Structure 1
């Protein structure tokens, strides 16, 4: 058997060498960039550059999989010849000088079998542009290729062997690898349930409830790459956008799309996007102050439910704004005639007809400005038509025009929003403390995070979107979005095309986010949404996932608990630490883990920023180089990291130490926080605690 495997690997290495030679020859033949002014040559140069980019992706790792497929004839009764090997990679490549495919793009219809085939002797198939293609899979083979060498080869299915199902050996091998400071693509190990999301219909809002470590973020990024391939020419990368929770998270995911050969997709946060839409007419108040308010001190359930974020993020508040906008719309057309000179009269009925008929679906302030311009053109036309040459008369007429137009209401988004909280125009049901705080903040030129959705919504309703609508929107950590935020983004598309993902069990920002996916899904008409659940966790070992599920207990909110893949590791440990040597316990654990050489990334997760600063200072004093993650941070550097638990969401580490899981830090209300911290660990998890252990672990023996 060993000899057979060696022969297989030798044959595959020879095939790989030939493929690399072919790719290198094609790259050499492309030549230098065109720098002239001929338009046709410029277009041809762009095509050559795109091809060059694909070939360079292929050169780094030509392919990662092979599937041998024997196609059946159209009647489904006879085969169409011998099984044909299909090599699957990140970029499709044809052989030099011909149309025969050297490598099939992972997004191509035929490649879908590599992900969807689960084993057995029954026919498999895929949907091609010419219809359904069916046949038999004879082999599914996984490769890991590095620097032109096959470093691992695994046959996960061979037709006729006793074990009929596809094995998880290659997946488990990849999951067991250590992580660095960037999220990586999963194109070689996409699972069937993930592939169904990636290849789902474009013109819908897809909602994905994915447990910690289910790969939901990576799946959403791969979906963008698939949509660009599948709908080439109909959607454009520069009209796609990813909304991430913070800039550090954007840095963390920044490598995935380039690895897949995709560029030009916008990546931002909702706050940055909204501020740009508002043309920076306001500044964002310090987000760290919000974090400190909710996480540095204990807060009650009542405080969360009555938070300004939940009030301003509600559809009830949106409805109140819609009523104010309708009032504004009704007041635009003057109810008195415009009489610039004796005998010159422009009736309100005429202006209303212009406003309602000629300007159609334009937004409120655009229609207002067009009406003002139309009134001016009417006056100029009348003066010319009636031969009014007297300069004094003309000047008087223009002065009356300016005075008349100024009386037509005009608002910026900021002015209209501020009017909702102050004086006679304030909304009647705004809590007094909220109205006062909002008015003072806006008066200082600042907006809170919860103000940005209503401000952006008003801006879009008043002035519209000044850039082309988005072809596709990805929203990550969407459980922390308010309905108002999503409704605002809905205005930026003609047809719903979104991937909205998150995990209700990680909804630590309950003061602003949702408690049920229906709060967001109900914004769309029936038939415009799909819902997917990813409850398999690929990040952590069985021991870590089982432990994390204990923390949540029965508090799942209708969400299925995480199910680990069969990857066993070290048991989770909890250890008491005396108050006077707690920091020594933290440092000794870190030292032990670093000395083992088993972990590339280690995180010490604290409850608050203050606790983390104390830990970080002590580690440095002991000669342990580490980085401290703070709320304003733009990048995550890997290595040894100290991070507050509320900033750790979305990140992952080889080993995690929860610095203090005592009852003072984690009460019952903090279950989601502790769950987030524990599920950052891939291979190793340990919890220290001062005083009594958190009551969240009462159901766990260990």
Structure 2
């Protein structure tokens, strides 16, 4: 499978491919010009429709942008037989596979969207299963220019199978700037997950470098292609662990032409206007607040507001009075409680049920009331007063405020669920009088979100992607699950990288909390990003941090990619700074990762040495390639070269050794090309 360099003749294959690329770019520009020239002044009935249509046209124009450094196509397929009627968009000649569909002035496709069914064999065809593909061609680019191609003749038994050099070069290409798409390098096992249906939820367990984040993002792009109308109505959402991570991945979907997917953290989901996070819970308190038992405590607390009626209700209608006895009111209330509908929905139904009981008495007295009379009775002063007393409104924030401030109220509703010691952990040292004055923590807002859903149903989206899911508490899983009760989810994570005190112990347990117990769990074990030497070294920690979990098997062998250096002097910081300076001689991004407590010291040393650095989430450029990364923010990020400062400090910075070793495992596996580890203190036993 040789890679071909340019030839000198004008009609060589590479020249023809370049000509097709140039023609495709012209066609894309023409498609955009056609949209820009649309005149919608006389095609809409009112200004609202005109505004909606204009917004849709603007989005279409953005999606048709010709990105100079993003290849329009990256592969080509030649089938043994012409595609049949099931693929009406496929041309009879070669199929060029790219990031978006491009057609010429006659409507004939010049580039086929990678998500189209006819493109699937580009990712899955093999010598054992050629799927009617005679030739698969991959293209190599430099700065947006087509510079090479590589052919596989899948049906030719005389051609020996070999590793694609262009594929390997694309995977190893230096990382500068935010995360990019992987449409040119999707592997068969990844493609199966990407193209799985919208109706089912998927959980992807993947170690470092297996591409699970990319798989999740590309699955969103695929689902938007295959189910665009449905997801346009219901919406999609990508949830990441922090803002730095979301900034890092934010360009992947727009590069694939998908501009409408929202991104958020779990804290963003549960944020409430007027409530500010001003406190951090101790680990043991956060564990209790994140426990699924808190959902039952909150349910009890919400339902406790319902009071059984003890007095009859008298309704005056004209010159007549209608009496509903207390026992009948109690039966209505009991029926609504048995149905276990949301508190707010039941409260809205109660006045209509009471009014219906009044109408029954009117009919028995010979009157003929209609629905308008029932509505009038339900809105009457007497019924409103009864409802307010029997089923009063509940403010979720005030409810949680009372639970965390009032020992008796908490004890009444946590009885049999939480121990006395656990209840003490929940109570604030100093009660707060108002919602706005309270020093809320992030875990408190999750509790308020749960209480709010008990009162009013949370809006559900069509599809949610949850990345770095192993770090969520059961209550956080429930908060995410509420956003996709009528939709599906893609859950991404690695049990070995769980670094919170409440980290996920098993995916079955996590999926049950999410409300998706039937989700299919897929495991990715082939690594494409982290060099074999680095991942093998980091995997020495697996028996201690996640026994039984299969280590990642990297397909990339890179001799010399791992360098472990004990400090040669008493000044470890100076040696780390010099290691960063030396790494800048390499191509690509540099990440200096250290324990959070070491960051101020290293920042001062870098400035004193004249080395400019970025914070996590800031975009690397050719001029500014060094990022100083606290260990707590390293998860999900990647750098071509990593300088890792003092592993023992990273371990010691966590509440316990196991969590510390998991944090170290994360930090060890952020390197794409090389890892330099410097230490003065002894290494953890598994790495020594």
With the shorter chain as reference, the TM-score category is 0.7 to 0.9
CA change 1:70–1:83 in 2 (3 A) is: farther
Query: More displaced, 539-548 or 1-10?
Result: 1-10
Q: C-alpha offsets along residues 653-701 of structure 1, whole Å, 9 cap, x if unaligned?
A: 1111111134795595322111111111111111111132332313xxx
Distance 2:531 2:278 in 1: 40
> Alignment partner for residue 105 of structure 2, among 96, 102, 108?
96
Instruction: Tell me whether 1:606 sits opposite 2:606 in the alignment.
Output: no
CA change 1:441–1:138 in 2 (3 A) is: farther
Give the structure 2 partner of residue 127 of structure 1: none
Distance 1:244 1:574 in 2: 32
CA change 1:232–1:438 in 2 (3 A) is: farther
> Alignment partner for residue 615 of structure 1, among 602, 627, 630?
602
Give the structure 2 partner of residue 447 of structure 1: 440
Distance 2:278 2:219 in 1: 34
Query: More displaced, 352-361 or 637-646?
Result: 352-361
Judge conservation of contact 1:58–1:90 (CA < 8 Å) in 2. Answer: no
Give the structure 1 partner of residue 578 of structure 2: 588
Instruction: Tell me whether 1:106 sits opposite 2:114 in the alignment.
Output: yes
Distance 1:543 1:442 in 2: 57
Instruction: Tell me whether 1:215 sits opposite 2:207 in the alignment.
Output: no
Gaps of 5+ in 2: 85-90, 368-379
Distance 2:248 2:599 in 1: 21
Distance 1:439 1:499 in 2: 41
Give the structure 1 partner of residue 43 of structure 2: 38
Judge conservation of contact 1:243–1:475 (CA < 8 Å) in 2. Answer: yes
Give the structure 2 partner of residue 273 of structure 1: 269
- Secondary structure in 1 aligned to 2:26? helix
CA change 1:46–1:367 in 2 (3 A) is: same
> Alignment partner for residue 477 of structure 1, among 450, 468, 471?
468
Instruction: Tell me whether 1:648 sits opposite 2:646 in the alignment.
Output: no
Judge conservation of contact 2:533–2:559 (CA < 8 Å) in 1. Answer: yes
Distance 1:15 1:487 in 2: 50
Using the TM superposition, give the Cα deviation of residue 145 of structure 1 relative to its aligned residue in structure 2, in angstroms: 4.3
Query: More displaced, 429-438 or 564-573?
Result: 429-438
Gaps of 5+ in 1: 75-81, 125-135, 294-303, 386-396
Alignment of 1:503-522 (within 5 A): 503-509=494-500, 511-522=501-512
Distance 2:389 2:30 in 1: 69
Judge conservation of contact 1:616–1:628 (CA < 8 Å) in 2. Answer: no
Distance 1:68 1:571 in 2: 38
Instruction: Tell me whether 1:435 sits opposite 2:426 in the alignment.
Output: yes
Alignment of 1:316-335 (within 5 A): 316-328=293-305, 331=306, 334-335=309-310
Judge conservation of contact 2:566–2:680 (CA < 8 Å) in 1. Answer: yes
Distance 1:398 1:620 in 2: 71
Using the TM superposition, give the Cα deviation of residue 447 of structure 1 relative to its aligned residue in structure 2, in angstroms: 2.6
Judge conservation of contact 1:197–1:223 (CA < 8 Å) in 2. Answer: yes
Give the structure 2 partner of residue 141 of structure 1: 137
> Alignment partner for residue 646 of structure 2, among 653, 656, 660?
660
Judge conservation of contact 2:5–2:148 (CA < 8 Å) in 1. Answer: no
Instruction: Tell me whether 1:574 sits opposite 2:564 in the alignment.
Output: yes
- Secondary structure in 2 aligned to 1:682? strand
- Secondary structure in 2 aligned to 1:686? strand
Q: C-alpha offsets along residues 409-433 of structure 1, whole Å, 9 cap, x if unaligned?
A: 3311123333434243212335243
- Secondary structure in 1 aligned to 2:676? strand
Distance 2:44 2:451 in 1: 42
Judge conservation of contact 1:55–1:93 (CA < 8 Å) in 2. Answer: no
TM-score (norm 1): 0.81
Give the structure 1 partner of residue 347 of structure 2: 368
Using the TM superposition, give the Cα deviation of residue 106 of structure 1 relative to its aligned residue in structure 2, in angstroms: 0.6
Using the TM superposition, give the Cα deviation of residue 495 of structure 1 relative to its aligned residue in structure 2, in angstroms: 3.3
Q: C-alpha offsets along residues 277-312 of structure 1, whole Å, 9 cap, x if unaligned?
A: xx42532235xx56xx6xxxxxxxxxx6xx223322
Distance 1:625 1:644 in 2: 16
Distance 2:37 2:315 in 1: 67
Judge conservation of contact 1:453–1:484 (CA < 8 Å) in 2. Answer: yes
CA change 1:551–1:67 in 2 (3 A) is: same
Give the structure 2 partner of residue 488 of structure 1: 479
Judge conservation of contact 1:156–1:169 (CA < 8 Å) in 2. Answer: no
Judge conservation of contact 1:576–1:690 (CA < 8 Å) in 2. Answer: yes
Judge conservation of contact 2:343–2:455 (CA < 8 Å) in 1. Answer: yes
- Secondary structure in 2 aligned to 1:697? coil
Distance 1:404 1:192 in 2: 60
Alignment of 1:462-473 (within 5 A): 462-465=455-458, 467=459, 469-473=460-464
- Secondary structure in 1 aligned to 2:323? coil
Using the TM superposition, give the Cα deviation of residue 18 of structure 1 relative to its aligned residue in structure 2, in angstroms: 2.6
CA change 1:17–1:491 in 2 (3 A) is: closer
Judge conservation of contact 2:595–2:649 (CA < 8 Å) in 1. Answer: no
Judge conservation of contact 1:338–1:404 (CA < 8 Å) in 2. Answer: no
CA change 1:31–1:204 in 2 (3 A) is: closer
Give the structure 2 partner of residue 416 of structure 1: 399
How many pairs align? 637
Distance 1:648 1:664 in 2: 12
> Alignment partner for residue 155 of structure 1, among 151, 155, 166?
151
> Alignment partner for residue 175 of structure 2, among 165, 172, 179?
179
> Alignment partner for residue 8 of structure 1, among 13, 16, 23?
13
Distance 1:220 1:2 in 2: 31
RMSD of the TM alignment (CA)? 3.7
Q: C-alpha offsets along residues 573-597 of structure 1, whole Å, 9 cap, x if unaligned?
A: 2222266321211111112222x2x
CA change 1:686–1:10 in 2 (3 A) is: same
